[in-house]
A and B are shown apart, each in its own frame.
Chain A
């Protein structure tokens, strides 16, 4: 009997969640105004998808956003996102109706619902993304808009014409099985 218990206990990690993940997902944002366009890319996004439940988590290190202009990158960290205090943005949520979704090589739209946390402020959001399975990888993508003011990111008056009030966010991830 004791061996059975030990055997079962050892099995537990294998029973653990069936997850797909990446540590190098791409998230970029684009701010466009008549005066200037600003773009930054982050290739250090961590994402985990529970293939059984459709739960999904993102962690985005703010310092990982790379700008073409180093001064902008510094201001982004120092003045806007305050990455010293809020080093990561995150999204925790799930793909709705996961039970009815069968992953295939065909791109299919999926609704996402959950909590976005940026700059220490949490907001419930629902957006739509796309998902497909290619080989042994789950590939996901999404584009949506973020209103800067929703996350209490202050833009000084003098730069209000340079930075868009709503920025476009693009997510591209390729998950492999853990």
Chain B
């Protein structure tokens, strides 16, 4: 009987002894961690992405769109012309960034802010998506005769994004634009649209991105739905974004509401964005 007892106890001991010592102290809690790098840059193609300028860094971005490609080799697919925008953004913390920019199209100045309200997390009690609020005020100074208030346009976007896996991210962005001045009486001052964008990573440093904005409500006959198709190339402190799009402006009220390009006669625009980040 004693021998039996000895074997039995030995069996129990060997069953409870674990191979991995780390399991001995696991208490089952996994801390949720914020999901990083839903997109590589603060823009998807034309549209804003969920990403903010990182805390205590200054981000300088050049958004360059060539002219229409429809003249072919005569002006090397639009390379002779350009609409350029540059902006400077600062990350106050991981939830607030502020910026200002200028676009050559309509000589538009703007100030904007992006606020991250919710963060997607993984592990433990994970949260499924990130949410940010983007708001902007634009001042179009091309017509000097207009009063200040007539030059203003306001944009508000709710950016909602989810990184499904390391390579695929999708973002939806309900957008509201208010123009203080419209061209004709039957145009609305307030415009609603629904944007969708996403990316697929093809290598660790290159991704293919796309975005488009579906209009909600009435638009006039000349309206075209804007879209962009591009690729991100990351090289250390830079992100290059190359794209083809049907809109030349790269500020919100323009690229959402004033697309002009069509596939007919290749009336599209090539362009690029360059981001450079400075740690302060």
Convert A110-124 into 0s and 1s, putting 1 for each residue whose CB lies closer than 8 angstroms to a CB of B.
000000000000000
> On chain A, which size bracket covers the interface?
35 or more
Tell me whether A70 and B54 are in contact in the complex, defined as CB-CB below 8 angstroms, given that A46-B22, A50-B21, A77-B36 are known contacts: yes
Convert A45-89 into 0s and 1s, putting 1 for each residue whose CB lies closer than 8 angstroms to a CB of B.
010101000010101000100001111011101110010110000
Report the stretch among B12-20, B80-88, B172-180 that lies at the interface: B12-20
Within 8 A of B (CB), among A92-122: none
In the bound complex, residues from chain B placing their C-beta under 8 Å from that of A84 are 165-166
In the bound complex, residues from chain A placing their C-beta under 8 Å from that of B235 are 156, 158
A17 with B57: CB separation less than 8 A: no
Tell me whether A78 and B36 are in contact in the complex, defined as CB-CB below 8 angstroms, given that A12-B13, A70-B57 are known contacts: yes
Interface membership of A5, Cβ < 8 A = yes
In the bound complex, residues from chain B placing their C-beta under 8 Å from that of A13 are 16
State the CA gap A121–B62 with chains docked (Å): 40
B33 with A85: CB separation less than 8 A: no
Minimal Cβ-Cβ distance residue in B for A70: B54
State the CA gap A15–B55 with chains docked (Å): 50
Nearest-neighbour CB distance to chain B for A116, whole angstroms, equals 15
Tell me whether A78 and B12 are in contact in the complex, defined as CB-CB below 8 angstroms, given that A16-B24, A162-B236 are known contacts: no
State the CA gap A15–B15 with chains docked (Å): 13
Report the stretch among B1-9, B99-107, B246-254 that lies at the interface: B1-9
Minimal Cβ-Cβ distance residue in B for A73: B36
Tell me whether A48 and B5 are in contact in the complex, defined as CB-CB below 8 angstroms, given that A71-B277, A156-B205 are known contacts: no
Minimal Cβ-Cβ distance residue in B for A159: B236
Number of A-B contacts (CB under 8 A): 80
In the bound complex, residues from chain A placing their C-beta under 8 Å from that of B217 are none
In the bound complex, residues from chain B placing their C-beta under 8 Å from that of A1 are 1, 5
Interface membership of B237, Cβ < 8 A = yes
In the bound complex, residues from chain A placing their C-beta under 8 Å from that of B33 are 63
Interface membership of A139, Cβ < 8 A = no
Interface membership of A9, Cβ < 8 A = yes
Among B12, B235, B236, B277, chain A packs the most CB atoms within 10 A around the CB of B236
Minimal Cβ-Cβ distance residue in B for A59: B22
Interface membership of A19, Cβ < 8 A = yes
Minimal Cβ-Cβ distance residue in B for A19: B24
B25 with A21: CB separation less than 8 A: yes
B25 with A85: CB separation less than 8 A: no
Nearest-neighbour CB distance to chain A for B128, whole angstroms, equals 16
In the bound complex, residues from chain B placing their C-beta under 8 Å from that of A23 are 25
State the CA gap A68–B279 with chains docked (Å): 9
Starting from the known contacts A16-B16, A79-B234, A162-B236, 14 additional A-B residue pairs (CB-CB under 8 Å) come to: A12-B12, A12-B13, A13-B16, A16-B17, A17-B21, A19-B25, A48-B24, A48-B25, A57-B22, A59-B22, A69-B279, A71-B237, A82-B204, A84-B165
B interface residues with partner A (beta carbon < 8 Å): 1, 5, 8-9, 12-13, 16-17, 20-22, 24-25, 33, 36-37, 54-55, 57, 165-166, 204-205, 234-237, 277, 279
The 5 nearest A-B residue pairs measured at CB: A70-B54, A48-B21, A84-B166, A21-B25, A57-B21
22 contacts between A and B (CB under 8 A): A8-B12, A9-B9, A12-B9, A16-B17, A23-B25, A46-B22, A46-B25, A57-B20, A70-B54, A71-B54, A71-B57, A74-B37, A77-B36, A78-B166, A78-B204, A79-B204, A79-B205, A79-B234, A82-B204, A158-B236, A178-B24, A178-B25
